[in-house]
A and B are shown apart, each in its own frame.
Chain A
Amino acid sequence: MNNLAIKAVGITKRFPGVTANDNVSFELRVGEIHVLLGENGAGKTTLMNILAGLYSKDSGEIYVWGQKVEIKSPQDALKLGIYLVPQTPKLVRSMTVLENVVIGLKKAGIILPTRKVRDLVEGLTKSYHIIVDIDAPVYRLSASEQKRIELLKALIRHARILIFDELTTSLSPSEKADLLKFMRKFARSGGAIIFVTHKMHEVFEVGDRVTVMRNGRVVGTFDVSEVTPDKLTELMFGKSIKPESIPRLTKPGDVMFRIDNLWVDLDGYKCVRGVSLDLHSGEILGLAGVAGNGQKELVETIIGIRQPSKGKIYAKLNGKFVDITDKPTIWRLKSGISYIPEDRIRQGIIPDMTVMENVILGFRFSEDAISGLLINWSKIKAQVSEIIKKYEIATPSADVLAKYLSGGNIQKLIIAREFESKPTILIAFNPTLGLDASSTRYIWEMLIEMRNKGAAILLISEDLDEILSLSDRIAVISEGEIRGIFSREEARLDDIGRLMVRAK
């Protein structure tokens, strides 16, 4: 027992209608990086939340450092050295990075933040290559920068068992490499890491051992050196899925969408600097870039919730080429521009409204049921039930609040809403961020199908694999400027990577 950091035996956790963990047993050895692999909804996050004190288990036993423990709260978990790095950062958005890091920290002192603590945090950022401006307010930071704050929070609290819940989903390749280096160092010096993921290649990049979960059960634990990706895939999905090549493109058509020398200011800072892009019907234009290089502001300007300081946006809607720079958002949506936002919970849905109410957001779905004086909910409900089936959204009914859906199903809900409006122009911002392999594949196929039907798609993604697999043309954005545009044939991973990170 001495070499075990965590031993969990027979953990069971039920939610209304679902058994999220069914008699799960799991062992974490001291000094190892243990990958927990499984699809969305396999029960990984539930198990981790139990270990971190966020959920209470229905039955089972947990031993930490050889002692039987009851983890009743995150504080209990932290006392045992367990720190959960959450999937979406839990931060106070109006405070600075430094303030967020030291919130609740005893040694931080009464007057925040003291010189000593500041030096400590700065030291940590340097020694672990965590590149973030510690005095910047959190709301200014991109999703991936926000995730780095969670790392700092773990480090300063002397965590010995780190749980990474899908952390690497939006890190750039170099950031990822740095993180992996850090994880090794952390594990080898007496810590232990649980790395939750659904990405096969990460198992082999970081893992010492791997445990596979499916449908709330553990289906096997292996040394990474003794297992193959095929074997793991089979365990994850229950059957062998062969990767298929995605059908290639038809000929691109007319220009459907044009951004002309667009500039966007945010609090005096020029986030978007003279971006010009043409988007044709029947093509996917991939916009590659590291998070926080103006993509968010560009997209928000396209959709009309932010005003440009200079430049024009044109779209071909209902057969006519029009200047839409000053058109309201609702006009753009109704004229055939669809939008899949990056931050699905804050921007994509209204968590406290039902699935069915979320599907009509933007008033494009089931227009006949909305057009009268009263909204005909029973009609909408029938149509939404169809949609739920068609898009394989896992929810007990259309009346469930959207916040009770898992991340993957929330994204499916958004995709369903945006695709059902039959857009001619689709703006997809990190559409598969944090989704499991089968959902990702499903969404990719939907995008391809949409393109083959003639839609013009702008795909903004931090995932280079995604950009390279789907795009017909690839543009690279860095510091708010387009640094290069490639056709699919001439696009090479290393060229794009270099343009993404190179300063001018």
Chain B
Amino acid sequence: MIRIIIKKREKELPYAYSSTIVILVSIFLSLVVLSFFGINPMIALWEAFVLPILTVYGWANILYNGLILLLCGVGLVIAFKAGVWNIGAEGQMLMGAIAATWVSLYLIPKAPSIVMIPSMFIVGFLFGALWGFIAGVLKAKLGVNEVLTTMMLNYIAYQIVYYLVMGPWANPATSYPVSKPFPEQAWLLSVSRPLPVSVPTLILALTIAPLVHLMLFRTKLGYEIRAIGSNPIAARTYGISYAKAVIISMLLSGGLAGLAGVHAVAGSILTPQLRRPEQVSRGFGFVAILVAWLSGIKPLPVIFTSILMGLVFLAGFAIQISFARGIGSTHLFTGVMLLILSIMETYRRYEISVRIHALRRILRWF
């Protein structure tokens, strides 16, 4: 007989410990799955995880991915701390990308980098914040479930981008659904030369993570957000506004995803231009949920988990290219990781032991 005994831990396992296990186990399991498809796991490990960190081009990709995840992830931390399950970083990112395109191609196409780049980020933040705000207001004022609204807003953002690249903003020089290329003073990588990474985004992201940490743990607003997220009943009993905490956290969360969207297009390793939505957001908005969760919902550890997930995301692409497989290999890594993370979330809080009585009886015979 098999007995599974689940018991609440008196002290939860620390995130540093559980997240390390999640990452190692999920990479291992992903490689096992790949071996079923005739891919040598050792070669895959080399191609996907070792080679990228040995080359400049690899790092350019890791950091490009990582910075998107860092900005989105820190934003999600704010929403999650408020107890708001923002699933809409994907759409909020796309709004940021739209903002960057609008600013660089139509609003101030002749402006120098020093004006252009800050303007793109500011307008990108506002567009993303607007997308978060819609879901925030609906939740705070009407009690509409934010998981549904943020998810649906993703699809709306997708369609807006499609409309723009195929309609009013379509590049007349090509039949591909893309906008015109951004003017060169809006290219984040060209202002960062010779470094292979977007310096403006890097500075922005590395400033924002500590600022969000300060905001959450050292300001009244952060305290209110955490209190509402942790025990809304007590928080409201002692005068903390639920609507304020929910709306502000969604504003900031959406805004930071908007910044990520600006970086996703203007900081692209390919030509900076608005493309089909799945080529812009590429599921980063969902991977960012993993990033936020692996960090234990804390802004500073997101710096590490986002860069790490940037590598994992790249690993999927490496497999696609090296072994000529489909997009499935990227989904494999993130999917397995999400699965292991969910299991680990329970294991962190509960002790789970499995006892097989028959087996023990058999063992006793020996």
Contacts and interface: CB of A to CB of B under 8 A. Distances in A.
B234 A349 contact: yes
Contacts of B226: 353
A164 B7 CA distance: 22
Contacts of A349: 231, 234
B237 interface: yes
A332 B220 CA distance: 19
B7 to A, nearest CB: 7
Interface string A329-352: 111111000010100001111111
A73 interface: yes
A200 interface: no
Contacts of B308: none
A333 B231 contact: no
A336 B11 CA distance: 38
Contact of A329 (B11, B223, B236): B236
B238 A361 contact: yes
B220 A328 contact: no
B194 interface: no
A227 interface: no
Interface residues of B, number: 23
Interface stretch (A265-273, A370-378, A471-479, A483-491): A370-378
A374 B219 contact: yes
B300 interface: no
Interface in B100-132: none
Contacts of B214: 374
Contact of A353 (B7, B11, B227, B241): B227
Interface in A362-419: 362-363, 370, 373-375, 377
Contacts of A16: 11
Contacts of B239: 304, 328-334, 362-363
A363 B234 contact: no
B237 A351 contact: no
Contact of B219 (A350, A351, A373): A373
B234 A348 contact: yes
A375 B225 CA distance: 14
B206 interface: no
B33 interface: no
A259 B307 CA distance: 59
A329 B230 CA distance: 19
A347 B219 contact: no
B231 A377 contact: no
Candidate in A303, A339, A341, A361 with the most chain B CB atoms within 10 angstroms: A361
B7 A73 contact: yes
Which one of B5, B233, B238 has the highest number of Cβ atoms from chain A below 10 Å of its Cβ? Answer: B238
Given A363-B220, A370-B220, A346 B231 contact: yes
Interface string A315-332: 000000000000011111
A373 to B, nearest CB: 7
Contacts, number: 74
A347 B223 contact: no
Interface string B203-239: 0000000000010001110010011001101111111
A377 B218 contact: yes
Contacts of A304: 239
Contacts of A341: 234, 237
B234 A346 contact: yes
A305 interface: yes
A347 B237 contact: yes
Contact of B233 (A329, A346, A357, A363): A346
Contacts of B235: 350, 361
A329 B227 contact: no
A73 B218 contact: no
A350 B220 contact: no
A360 interface: yes
A72 interface: yes
A374 B218 contact: yes
A353 B5 contact: no
Nearest to B353: A72
A72 B234 contact: no
Interface in A1-25: 15-16
A341 B238 CA distance: 10
A303 B237 CA distance: 8
Contacts of A350: 227, 230-231, 234-235
A18 to B, nearest CB: 12
A370 B220 CA distance: 7
B266 to A, nearest CB: 32
A16 B10 CA distance: 10
A419 to B, nearest CB: 15
B240 interface: yes
Contacts of B237: 303, 305, 329, 339, 341, 347-348
B238 A329 contact: yes
A362 B231 contact: no
Contacts of A353: 226-227, 230
Contact of B240 (A72, A330, A373, A374): A330
Contacts of A362: 238-239
Contacts of A357: 223, 227
A83 B363 CA distance: 34
A346 B234 CA distance: 6
Given A330-B239, A350-B231, A360 B223 contact: yes
Given A330-B240, A333-B239, A352 B231 contact: yes
B234 A361 contact: yes
B145 to A, nearest CB: 15
A304 B240 CA distance: 12
Nearest to B6: A73
Given A370-B220, A374-B218, A375-B220, A352 B238 contact: no
A228 to B, nearest CB: 39
Nearest to A350: B231
A420 B241 CA distance: 23
Nearest to B226: A353
Interface in A196-246: none
B223 A375 contact: yes
11 contacts: A15-B10, A330-B239, A330-B240, A331-B239, A333-B239, A346-B234, A353-B226, A357-B227, A360-B223, A375-B218, A377-B218
Given A330-B238, A350-B227, A363-B220, 4 more contacts: A303-B237, A347-B234, A351-B230, A357-B227
The 8 closest A-B pairs by CB, nearest first: A330-B239, A329-B239, A362-B238, A350-B231, A374-B218, A352-B230, A361-B238, A350-B230
